[in-house]
Amino acid sequence: MAKSVVYASFAFTCSLSLVITVSVALSPVVIEKQILWQSGREGEIAYYRTPMLTNTPTGDILAFAGSRKYSSSDKVQKIATMRRSRDHGSTWDPTLFVVQDLGPGTDYFNFGTITVDYVANSLVFLYCHCPHNVCTDSLPTLFMMRSFDWGYSWGKAVNLSKANPDFYNFPYCPGPGYGIQKRLEPHKGRLISCGHRIGAFRAMHCLVSDDHGDTWKIAGTVPTIPYGQSHKTGDFEMDESTIVELPDGSLLLNSRNQYHYHCRCRIIARSHDGGNSFPFEEISMDATLIDPACAGSLLLHNDIMFFSNPANPSKRVNMTVRWSEDYGKTWAGALVVDPGDSEYSCLSSVDDNHIGLLYEKGGYEEMAFAKIRIH
């Protein structure tokens, strides 16, 4: 399907008007590619992992990485690093440290979602502490940091279990990627961050806040099947997830299919109540979105839906961006951004005619930014 663009309107003396509509096909292309971080090249960082990318109302683009100090493993100490572009991704400011592990144990910090609150003019950063439950001196905890100057400074980390005991000893990993703020009813203005709980009782959870991040609660949940038991290939588990709001106010969730339930492709879920629930009858598989069980990213930009992942059924290779003009019912085309080793990714708007992709490549050796022209 091609997008229709109105080019001109001509008025006639008979008071009739003629509108000429020209159909313009999408033709996304990578126009610029940069390496933002290289593993082992900067300070104490061994590997840059788990990309997050967002654009702010000021036009700046913020790139984040869950940087790992000693190896690429999930179970090492980490630092949240950030770089800023003030010119739509052409140049980037030096790396800043947003938060880092301080304790002597391992697995103290895990990414993470970044959400723009357009009403409160803030950035909301959720991350977890000890999600794999191997810390030496504490239990899994969910934290939040906020910035009210678009990432130039950050407030102190807030332990969310102090306001909601449901988050105490809650081994939950948000994202990685971005959360959203609902712009339409139901629950207009709500902040939503989705991720997955690990450990014995695995599940996909969406967390919501209706007061701009002051308090949070666990909302829509889809448990793993079997629940509370060991798992094997073919079981059902929605893992790392990304979410968008559709023009009718409903939500579409796109999840990693951890154990290849039904196919080696993505799991899709929908919510019609602002993320409070994802009914069983609204869960489906998208066979077009082949996936090796890896984090992907979903973006709705000017009514065009984009999806990024390593498009391969078994290996983390072939970083691809697909696009849909009917909100994910069908996928009109695909752009291979990187045919080689490529892993996690995160999409973001840049401007009306460009989107950005931050992704791991080369066996986690580099974190790259690709700027994609849509038309």
Q: How far is CA 252 from the centre of its chain?
A: 13
Selected catalytic residue, list 47, 127, 178, 344: 344
Give whole-number Cα distances, 77 to 7, 25, 47, 247, in Å. Answer: 55, 46, 11, 41
Spatial contact of 372 and 363, defined as CB atoms under 8 Å apart: no
Name the nearest CA neighbour of 345 among 372, 326, 327, 325. 372
Helix (H, G, I), strand (E, B) or coil at 60: coil
Spatial contact of 107 and 132, defined as CB atoms under 8 Å apart: yes
Name the nearest CA neighbour of 124 among 107, 108, 141, 112. 112
Selected catalytic residue, list 48, 74, 101, 239: 74
The residue behind tokens 């979410």 is: 243
- 344 labelled catalytic: yes
Name the nearest CA neighbour of 67 among 369, 366, 370. 366
Selected catalytic residue, list 239, 343, 360, 366: 360
- 327 labelled catalytic: no
Q: What is the DSSP string of 128-183?
A: EESTTS--SS---EEEEEEESSTTSS----EEGGGT-GGGTT--EEE-SEE-EE--
- 291 labelled catalytic: no
Beta-carbon neighbour count of residue 279 at 10 Å? 13
Residues annotated as part of the active site: 74, 344, 360
